[in-house]
Amino acid sequence: MNTNLLPCVEVEPVKPADAAVIWLHGLGADGHDFAGIVPALNLPENAAVRFVFPHAPERPVTVNNGWVMRAWYDILEMNISRKVDTASLLESAEQVSGLIRREIDRGIPAERIVLAGFSQGGAVVYQTGLAYPQRLAGLLALSTYVPCEQSLREVVGLPEVSEPGNRDLPVMVVHGSQDDVVPLQLGESATELLTTLGFSPQWRTCPIDHSVSAEEVEMISEWLKNVLNLKA
């Protein structure tokens, strides 16, 4: 067992898992933040989906006066460009890739693994999932943005990532139209960038702030049932 894996909260299905959802929390939260959403998704009772909610490492965050908190990367400037520490972003992306590899080692095929993330967690999902060399089941990006366009373009352009099938990766992007933490413009820009890179993201908005609503949970549920082919 790899002892360097991120600690996680895990929610196991009743029967042995044949699919997995790795869900990343936002800045300052932890893996417990979204664990309670699993029952609300109302997946079929026979769905054998393992939910994995990792805890981000603790690190000083520059825009929060250097306070140490759980963060997937350091944010250096809190403006519309969202200048970040690319090294810590890439480190977190590799750690999440390690969780994908663990699920594969547990017997879950890559094409049955979903990456989901909220806010800063969603930014890491973009960096990890779009660049993963094997086709995943899908990416779910909630109230988030692309923190470093250059690094994303570089990894997506690698030969092992550029297999034609990878561009068919289902991606759903959901953003609150009243989000004052990650402005709607950043979600729209991320969707446009993914389209430029050859992906076909599904863009949805909800009339909410920087949060997740019941309407959004219903959207997520239907999307998960579709990408994982979950039937009652």
Positions annotated as catalytic residues are 119, 179, 210
- The 10 Å Cβ neighbour count of residue 73 is 26
φ, ψ for residue 117, nearest 5 deg: -160, 145
Please report, to the nearest 10 degrees, the dihedral formed by the alpha carbons of residues 189, 30, 22, 102 taken in order.
130
**Can you give the length of the chain in residues?**
232
167 CB-contact burial (10 Å; exposed 0-12 / middle 13-18 / buried 19+): middle
CB neighbour burial string for 26-50, b if at least 16 within 10 angstroms, e if fewer: bbebbbebbbebbeebebeeebbbb
Q: For residues 195 and 65, what is the distance between their CA atoms, to the nearest angstrom? A: 36
CB contact at 8 A, 162 and 129? no
* Beta-carbon contacts of residue 126 (< 8 Å; ≥ 6 apart): 139, 141, 144, 146, 152, 190, 194
Q: Assign residue 108 a region: left if phi > 0, alpha if psi is -120 to 50, beta otherwise?
A: beta
